[in-house]
Amino acid sequence: MGCRERAAKSELLRIVVESRDGGQAVLTPDPGGSAAGRGAYLHRRIACFELAVRRRAFPRALRLGVGVETTAIRDHVIQQVTPAVHNPLDT
Ligand SMILES: [Zn+2]
Protein backbone atom coordinates (compact mmCIF):
# COMPACT_ATOMS: atom_id res chain seq x y z
CA MET A 1 0.00 0.00 0.00
CA GLY A 2 1.22 3.53 -0.59
CA CYS A 3 4.32 3.33 -2.74
CA ARG A 4 3.60 -0.20 -4.03
CA GLU A 5 7.18 -1.27 -3.46
CA ARG A 6 7.69 -4.86 -2.49
CA ALA A 7 9.04 -5.47 0.97
CA ALA A 8 9.70 -8.23 3.44
CA LYS A 9 6.91 -8.69 5.94
CA SER A 10 9.20 -7.54 8.73
CA GLU A 11 9.39 -4.13 7.10
CA LEU A 12 5.64 -3.80 6.98
CA LEU A 13 3.18 -2.65 9.56
CA ARG A 14 -0.17 -4.39 9.67
CA ILE A 15 -3.13 -2.09 10.03
CA VAL A 16 -6.59 -3.12 11.12
CA VAL A 17 -9.89 -1.31 11.43
CA GLU A 18 -11.75 -0.69 14.64
CA SER A 19 -15.24 0.72 14.74
CA ARG A 20 -16.07 3.36 17.30
CA ASP A 21 -19.55 4.04 18.59
CA GLY A 22 -21.39 5.96 15.92
CA GLY A 23 -19.74 4.00 13.12
CA GLN A 24 -16.50 5.99 12.84
CA ALA A 25 -13.79 3.74 11.43
CA VAL A 26 -10.45 4.05 13.20
CA LEU A 27 -7.26 2.57 11.77
CA THR A 28 -5.19 0.86 14.42
CA PRO A 29 -1.63 -0.46 14.18
CA ASP A 30 -1.28 -4.19 14.71
CA PRO A 31 2.49 -4.71 15.01
CA GLY A 32 2.07 -8.33 16.13
CA GLY A 33 -0.10 -9.12 13.12
CA SER A 34 -2.51 -11.00 15.36
CA ALA A 35 -5.67 -8.89 15.34
CA ALA A 36 -8.71 -10.36 13.65
CA GLY A 37 -10.40 -8.82 10.67
CA ARG A 38 -9.35 -7.30 7.42
CA GLY A 39 -5.86 -5.86 7.43
CA ALA A 40 -3.68 -3.76 5.19
CA TYR A 41 0.07 -3.54 5.09
CA LEU A 42 2.17 -0.40 4.97
CA HIS A 43 5.91 0.24 5.02
CA ARG A 44 7.10 1.59 8.33
CA ARG A 45 7.97 4.92 6.76
CA ILE A 46 6.25 8.23 7.15
CA ALA A 47 6.61 8.94 3.43
CA CYS A 48 4.66 5.80 2.60
CA PHE A 49 2.00 6.64 5.15
CA GLU A 50 1.53 10.09 3.69
CA LEU A 51 1.42 8.71 0.17
CA ALA A 52 -1.23 6.21 1.21
CA VAL A 53 -3.32 8.99 2.78
CA ARG A 54 -3.00 11.17 -0.32
CA ARG A 55 -4.05 8.33 -2.57
CA ARG A 56 -6.88 7.36 -0.22
CA ALA A 57 -5.35 3.92 -0.16
CA PHE A 58 -6.64 3.12 3.33
CA PRO A 59 -10.36 3.41 2.64
CA ARG A 60 -9.86 1.62 -0.67
CA ALA A 61 -7.83 -1.28 0.68
CA LEU A 62 -10.08 -1.70 3.70
CA ARG A 63 -13.36 -0.91 1.97
CA LEU A 64 -14.32 1.96 4.17
CA GLY A 65 -15.93 5.30 3.65
CA VAL A 66 -13.59 8.23 3.17
CA GLY A 67 -13.96 9.52 6.73
CA VAL A 68 -11.41 7.22 8.27
CA GLU A 69 -9.29 8.16 11.27
CA THR A 70 -5.57 7.58 10.63
CA THR A 71 -3.96 9.44 13.53
CA ALA A 72 -2.99 6.29 15.45
CA ILE A 73 -1.15 4.93 12.41
CA ARG A 74 0.69 8.19 11.89
CA ASP A 75 1.79 8.32 15.54
CA HIS A 76 2.92 4.71 15.41
CA VAL A 77 4.95 5.18 12.24
CA ILE A 78 6.58 8.34 13.57
CA GLN A 79 7.58 6.59 16.79
CA GLN A 80 9.08 3.73 14.82
CA VAL A 81 10.95 5.90 12.39
CA THR A 82 12.43 8.50 14.72
CA PRO A 83 15.15 6.35 16.38
CA ALA A 84 16.30 5.03 13.00
CA VAL A 85 16.88 8.47 11.49
CA HIS A 86 18.41 9.95 14.63
CA ASN A 87 21.95 11.04 13.93
CA PRO A 88 24.18 10.59 17.01
CA LEU A 89 26.54 13.30 15.76
CA ASP A 90 23.67 15.73 15.96
CA THR A 91 23.30 15.79 19.72
ZN1 LIG B 1 6.20 2.02 0.85
Regarding the domain with residue range 9-90, which homologous superfamily does it belong to in the CATH classification? YlxR-like (3.30.1230.10)
CA 47–ligand 1 middle distance (angstroms): 7
> 0.75 exceeded by the pTM?
yes
What residues are neighbours of ligand 1 (ion), with CB under 5 Å?
2-3, 5, 43, 48
* Percent of the chain residues topping a pLDDT of 90: 38
pLDDT band at 83 (very low <50, low <70, confident <90, very high): low
Query: How confident is the model over 6-22, as pLDDT tens digits?
Result: 888 888 999 999 988 88
Mean pLDDT of 27-54: 91
Query: Contacts from 34-40 at CB under 8 Å and sequence distance 24+?
Result: 38/62, 38/63, 39/14, 39/15, 40/1, 40/14, 40/15
pLDDT band at 86 (very low <50, low <70, confident <90, very high): low
- State CA 11 to chain mean position distance: 12
